[in-house]
Structure 1
Amino acid sequence: MYGRDVLETRLDLGRIHAARDMIDPVFLGTPLYQCDALGRVLGCTVSVKLETANPVRSFKARGTELVASLLAERGENAVVCASAGNLGQALGWSGRRRGLDVTVVASRRAPAAKLDRIRALGAELELADGDFELARARAADIAGQRGIRLVEDSLDIETCEGAATIGLELAEASTFDSVLIALGGGAMATGVGHVLRTLAPGVEVICVQPLGAPAMTRSWHARHVVTTESADTIADGVAGRYPIPEVLDDLLAVADDAVLVRESSIIAGMRMLLEHAGLVVEPSAALGVAAVLEDPDRFAGRHVVTVICGGNVDLDAYQRWVHSGEGPSPG
């Protein structure tokens, strides 16, 4: 299925190249290396793209750097977003450096470690009584009341084109067969997918989502938006219930497949990344490894890149998951 023609998306390759000049270099050129120990246990060649090797421990700042730079250029001084944790940290970091007042709305259910880091970066934090979708609604209310910019992850093109710079770095690296990308709102999947579809059309783009939070994957397969009543997964960073139609359209143009994985596989993936790569990661970052674990024949003999998208994890929860395998069992 891969290697097909490039279909039109909202993204622009010229803007993605230009984005590199607006993003602090500390977030660019993240390590990409072949991890033989991990590959041996997974039965394929595995390279990791380490998006945790930066001050906010996730890929999100690639997008918030663009947002904050453009706001500062226009003389705007305030911004608000809803966040499961990582976007809020990234926007806090990028906004503080440019003199922006940053407000973040998050669910009370978000990991305490992520909330503490948002506060430490100087952002105003408001907690919503509900899940991420309720936080999204509250952030929109605040933007309207205060007349400030609302950053909507994945809908705002800067968040996608910032993440797409990961794709530029992959396309410039050695050849590989498939890239495994955590799928939540879709910014990273559409961004990286667009670049690889354009510059490396032989690479298979596979999106991975938890079985307990399947809305975007179900939407991709149905080719129209499918919502869910709830999301039950330890991978809080990808636990949305309402896919954004414009983002789904982009994803349909660039992804070769979207798969769902069980919680037990996510936990096993986290454990393997610790034991065989020395990486402490949040559950969303283990989705790629989980996909290989659940379908080893598909990847046997292939060179797979998995994007390690975040490392902001509550250590108490991490210890429970990795050492006891404890976690919800949706589906």
Structure 2
Amino acid sequence: MQETRLDLARIRAARRMIDPVFLDTPLYRCEALEPGLGCAVSVKLETANPVRSFKARGTEVIASSLADTRSPAVVCASAGNLGQALAWSGRGRGIDVTVVASRFAPAVKLDRIRALEAKLELVDGDIEEARERAVAIARHDGIRLVEDSLDLETCEGAGTIGLELVATEPAFDAVLIALGGGAMATGIGEVLKACAPEVEVICVQPLGAPAMTRSWRERRVVTTDSTDTIADGVAGRRPIPAVLDDLLVVADDAVLVQEASIIAGMRLLLDRAGLVVEPSAALGIAAILEDRERFAGRHVATVVCGSNVDPAAYQRWVGAAPQQRP
């Protein structure tokens, strides 16, 4: 396999740095989903942890390496989930955490960042403006800037999900991974290509936030001026060149799905599996709904990557408030 920035030995070592509460998350075949999808479906539930997303796998690695440094402090830009994860990992290790986010991010995510005792700074723009502000803070204060997907710890921490997937028997035919900045896709993809190269690695992104998928297809960085999707966790506009290079090595395909399919996937996960998920976590199901023939007769795994969703927005999309259903 062509080389990436990632390293399988470091991914294996990352497991020792991550609090066990984030490891070995539930992975099971969900037969209740299958009549509506036409294929065997297993879900990897990355929501069954204290921050309700996969992001802490990476922030645990970062925080572990910083805990013994003098006056440790970090800053990151976040759509919400990375900030929660970094706040959680930092709080337990005496690390001062600053999170920069859009004031338009879901309130439930912002409130949780505050509850985890991180300093929260809001900007008027989107995640790209938040990144610019985080860079400025890091330079001014002389502290560590955590850049999701660019920092290898975020990718290799997420790669531990891949280790858990390849330990499953029988193996899957394909794994569907939500694609935003690329940390989860490159991390899991690195493991699958090294340990189970016969498994198809398929990245899924909203049609309304297509920058990384377009970049993968054209094999060059393609930026967009705006995004228009409910899947805020994957709504980036400016792919990172080094991350794209990694993705080109490990991803077999990258597909775009419509908003209606994302909502249908969220509803299916609620009604058939009892899972309340944020839009990004339903991208894999959306991809199956849009191309049933491709997956017919195959065993597909999808990573349910987050469940930090605003109750009012969820009710508008799905037609049921989270607290009303199991």
Q: Distance in 2 between matches of 1:74 and 1:162?
A: 20
Alignment partner of 2:195 out of 183, 199, 202: 199
Structure 1 partner of 2:55? 60
Provide the alpha-carbon RMSD of the alignment.
Answer: 0.7
Cα deviation for residue 128 of structure 1 reads: 0.5
Structure 2 partner of 1:77? 72
Q: Distance in 2 between matches of 1:142 and 1:14?
A: 33
- Stretches of 4+ moved more than 4 A in 1? none
Task: Evaluate the alpha carbon distance shift between residue 158 and residue 76 of structure 1 in structure 2; reply closer, same or farther with a 3 A threshold.
Answer: farther
Matches within 5 A, 1:36-51: 36-51=31-46
- C-alpha deviations, 1:34-83, integer Å up to 9, x for none? 00010121000000000000000000000000001101133341100000
Q: Does 1:272 align with 2:268?
A: yes
Structure 2 partner of 1:261? 257
SS at match of 2:294: helix
Structure 1 stretch displaced more, 315-324 or 142-151: 315-324
Structure 2 gaps of 5+ residues are 321-326
SS at match of 2:319: helix
Structure 1 stretch displaced more, 229-238 or 67-76: 67-76
SS at match of 2:122: strand
Structure 1 gaps of 5+ residues are 1-5, 325-331
Matches within 5 A, 1:1-331: 6-174=1-169, 175-323=171-319
Q: Distance in 1 between matches of 2:101 and 2:272?
A: 33
Q: How many corresponding residue pairs?
A: 319
- Amino acid aligned to 2:274: G
Q: Distance in 1 between matches of 2:236 and 2:96?
A: 26
Q: Distance in 1 between matches of 2:2 and 2:102?
A: 36
- Amino acid aligned to 1:299: F
Q: Distance in 2 between matches of 1:74 and 1:39?
A: 49
- Amino acid aligned to 1:91: L
TM-score (norm 2): 0.97
SS at match of 1:137: helix
TM-score (norm 1): 0.96
Overall identity of the aligned pairs, in %: 77
- Amino acid aligned to 2:118: A
Q: Distance in 2 between matches of 1:231 and 1:149?
A: 28
SS at match of 1:73: coil
- C-alpha deviations, 1:262-312, integer Å up to 9, x for none? 000000000000001100000000000000000000000000000000000
Cα deviation for residue 153 of structure 1 reads: 0.1
Task: Evaluate the alpha carbon distance shift between residue 248 and residue 306 of structure 1 in structure 2; reply closer, same or farther with a 3 A threshold.
Answer: same
